[in-house]
Amino acid sequence: MVHEWALAESIVNYLSLELPGKKAEKVVIGLGRLQSIEQDILDFALRELLVQADIHVEEITYVIIEPKLRCRACGYEWKLLPEELNEEIAEMIHFVPEAIHSFLTCPRCGSRDFEIEEGRGITIVEVIK
């Protein structure tokens, strides 16, 4: 829960710089599925902090960004479904995404040298003023 509040605070800080008039029609936020962010908690925190910062956003929309990985050794790209991971591993990756290298290897060549191209953290996808 504290994690989502900290993320919401970062979004509000970004919007306070991006919106000099403190108003937006719509904000689209991408949630990386790999980190298992609690959307309801994030949304509640974000709305509370926006009120405190006197920033008015008409609509907040969330899109889930699926994890996409790419092997640096062979170039293979693949999608990861977090539900395929056991609960303990998924929780470790939630807090430290880089821990994924301890548990997964490239399905093609077996290398642990891969990068997370998409699907972690939070992204401000769009701000419509």
Domain match, 25 and 73 both: no
Q: What parts of the chain have a pLDDT lower than 70?
A: 1
110: Cβ–Cβ under 8 A, 6 or more apart, which residues? Answer: none
Same domain, 76 and 106: yes
CATH code for the domain of 48: 3.30.2320.50
When divided into structural domains, the chain yields a total of 2
Is 23 found in the same domain as 6? yes
Q: Quote the pLDDT of residue 81.
A: 80
Q: Give residue 1's pLDDT.
A: 60
Q: Transcribe 5-36 into DSSP letters.
A: HHHHHHHHHHHHHH-TTSEEEEEEEEEEGGGT
Pair (6, 61) in one structural domain: yes
- Residue 42: what pLDDT? 97
Residue range(s) defining the domain that contains residue 46: 2-66+119-128
